[in-house]
A and B are shown apart, each in its own frame.
Chain A
Amino acid sequence: MHPEIARIQSMLDGQGYVADEALATSVYLAIQLRKPLLIEGGAGVGKTEVAKVMAAALETDLIRLQCYEGLDATTSLYEWNYQRQLLHIRMMEHSDLPLEVKEREIFSEPFLLRRPLLQAITHHRAPVLLIDECDRADEEWEAFLLEVLSDWQVTIPEIGTIKAQHVPYVVLTSNRTRELGDALRRRCLYLWIDYPTFEKELAIVRRKVPGVNGQLAGQIAAFMQFVRRAKLEKTPGLAETLDWSAALIALHRDHLDREAVEQTLGALFKHRDDANLMRAQWLDHLLRGVDEIGREAAPWSQETISRVAERVLPKS
């Protein structure tokens, strides 16, 4: 492995992020080629984490822009601080300064509210700019973002053009609720994060859940692999795995059984329909799966999981 990629992987590891080679390579290339990295994948697989960890690994700041429908330039780039401007106008009421001077004064940098994009451009060193869930913003904003990403400069009519001193490292994430445009995609490097394999999920549970014992960790990881074979409204990701593990630990469970699972189902399934489907049709099979895997020789692998799943789970 390239020493830099290995270094990034171990850095990610040091930040508590279990990264495979693909992820480390993509992060490395995003840094090397200075291109934005577009990360897609199901909810809760750790897309946002990548940016956080990348910032920590580069020892730089993270600037985050959370996208939503209706996001526009004034909330993502800059806005004038109107209250402050009004106050200032009042204070200048009796001064004899000409109007032009007053105007220039209230439309100057101290009255500028820097939103994330402008913050990223004017930052004193190259930050990591996380544009989170950009599929939620609408197409117009996407076009606007594309412009910012290609020029790295912003024109504010009252002040002039501000050019980035340091081009930020950009990470975009998307949950694919809307297809992003081709132009934006082509500007980015691409990384798809799949739901974790059994081995990876087990490693993460062991690492991130304090107080989990070996048996429970294995059962949790296996259970999650089984659950993801169901057709759900919202397939639980790693975030749910960790929430659920924490819930089990809080209830002092050291192994999975029907009671433990039923008590904590809410941490796993955020959709009513999903919870109902699980309770009514899947729970028995899942528990049997956990039972059977217990009879397999350790250590378990993805292959063991698949074999057991074939045997006990309903075909969806």
Chain B
Amino acid sequence: MSLAGDLTTHVVGFCRRLRARDLPVGPKEAADALRALAAVDVSNRRECYLALRTVLTSRYEDLAVFDDVFREFWNPPAPQPTGADQPEPDLPALASDGQTPSLLSWLDEALQSQGEESIPAYSPVELLTQKDFSTFTGNELDEVSRLVVAIARRVATRLSRRVRAVRRGHALDLRRTIRHSLRRGGEIVELAYRKRRIQKTRVVLLADVSGSMDLYSRFLIQFIFALQHALGQVETLVFSTTLTRVTEALSESDLRAALDQVARTVPDWSGGTKIGQSLRAFLTRYGGLLLTPRTVVIVISDGWDTGDIDVLDDAMRELHARAGRVIWLNPLLGSPGYEPICQGMRVALPYVDVFASAHNLESLRQLERHLALRRR
């Protein structure tokens, strides 16, 4: 392998390491890193460090992680030669434009762990859509996962189309007013108004991952993951006895890595449930940031609360007041004969705008209808 190729391999490896630590580093960033290294003196360690940091970090929180990985990666335990003896070679070839495209495609392959999978047309789909999540067998799971993702994408597309709708605004459109006036020799007779875009709906998902929800949470997380990827403006938090924000963890573009990440960040996956406390924690910590009249809050839970019921009542009232719309998805609602009689659910129900099931694929598909923002 050529010397330049060697450095390229190292940089790609370094980028991958950063990515594993959640820095948003993709092929484009890696290509920039190589261009940056080509522009500085690669025998100067400090300069390389600064150049890579400038290119590969994008927020303050990244800096400490970057330093960590940099130290680990470029400081092998063996003693490093210093000064002029640095092994990093010069890279005259990298800067030339001719090489960039092939380099990029190579990086693309090297970095992309897996591409987007297409959803094949599949005939037993209809059967699957009606089936309760908890009754799937092992070999159906992959297929279902794929369908969940497909549905989430569709819901997201519809949703983003809908939020672009206009409403009559009050801003004067001078441009059109003037244009009209031309016909009357400059006399302004009618005023034209500018239609204003409604701002995008923000979706906040609060998913119950306690023991009683375990059967469903696996699919719902996939759904949330796909929705978040397609929609962008989704904040995801999971709770059981405590609340954890997993938006970042789920923003990993590879689902498996994302799930691992979630499992690592959530301290009590499949523990008991304290819905009230969790919602209260959400309101205190994230309410100011996330809740506006344009926010749709989706709670996914079966309502089995082992905590204080008054706390739940209180938190739900506030949630209802501060959010644009509160949707409660309860997987149990799908089972025949279910009545929301468990105490937690009964207390929460008056503050819920939409109460729907989330037990099978069909119900996820229905979700799109509920996400429109207007309250009643």
Instruction: Say yes or no: B63 contacts A192, CB within 8 Å.
Output: yes
A86/B181 contact (C-beta < 8 A), A33-B36, A33-B39 known:
yes
Instruction: Say yes or no: B60 contacts A192, CB within 8 Å.
Output: yes
With A and B bound together, what is the CA distance between A3 and B143 in angstroms? 58
Tell me if A's interface is mostly helix, strand, loop or mixed: helix
Find chain A residues with CB under 8 A from B28 CB. Answer: 186
Tell me if B's interface is mostly helix, strand, loop or mixed: helix
Chain A count of residues within 8 A CB distance of the other chain: 38
With A and B bound together, what is the CA distance between A192 and B179 in angstroms? 48
With A and B bound together, what is the CA distance between A2 and B54 in angstroms? 16
A102/B182 contact (C-beta < 8 A), A22-B50, A25-B47, A186-B29 known:
yes
A32/B39 contact (C-beta < 8 A), A21-B46, A106-B178, A192-B60 known:
yes
The listed residue (A93, A176, A188) touching B58 by CB distance below 8 A is: A188
Find chain B residues with CB under 8 A from A285 CB. Answer: none
Instruction: Say yes or no: A25 contacts B58, CB within 8 Å.
Output: no
Find chain B residues with CB under 8 A from A185 CB. Answer: 24, 58-59
Render A18-53 as a binary contact track against B, CB cut-off 8 A, 1 for contact.
000110011011001101001010000000000000
With A and B bound together, what is the CA distance between A35 and B32 in angstroms? 10
Render B6-49 as a binary contact track against A, CB cut-off 8 A, 1 for contact.
00000000000000000010101100100110011100101100
Chain B count of residues within 8 A CB distance of the other chain: 37
The listed residue (A106, A186, A189, A191) touching B182 by CB distance below 8 A is: A106
The listed residue (A90, A102, A103, A191) touching B54 by CB distance below 8 A is: A191
A1/B58 contact (C-beta < 8 A), A29-B39, A86-B181, A106-B178 known:
no
Instruction: Say yes or no: A93 contacts B185, CB within 8 Å.
Output: yes
A89/B32 contact (C-beta < 8 A), A26-B50, A40-B60, A82-B174 known:
no
Instruction: Say yes or no: A182 contacts B24, CB within 8 Å.
Output: yes
Within 8 A of B (CB), among A46-87: 80, 82, 85-86
B267 in the interface (beta carbon within 8 A) = no
B90 CB to nearest A CB, Å: 12
B5 in the interface (beta carbon within 8 A) = no
B376 in the interface (beta carbon within 8 A) = no
Q: Count chain A CB atoms within 10 A of each CB in B55, B58, B63, B185 and give the residue with the most.
A: B58
3 shortest A-B CB distances, which residue pairs? A89-B186, A185-B58, A25-B50
Name 6 interchain pairs, CB-CB below 8 A, sorted by A.
A1-B44, A1-B47, A32-B35, A85-B178, A139-B199, A191-B54
Residue numbers of B with Cβ under 8 A of A are 24, 26, 28-29, 32, 35-36, 39-41, 44, 46-47, 50-51, 53-55, 57-60, 62-63, 174-175, 178-179, 181-183, 185-186, 197, 199-200, 251
Apart from A22-B53, A82-B178, A176-B60, what are 5 other A-B pairs with CB-CB below 8 Å? A26-B50, A32-B39, A33-B35, A80-B178, A189-B55
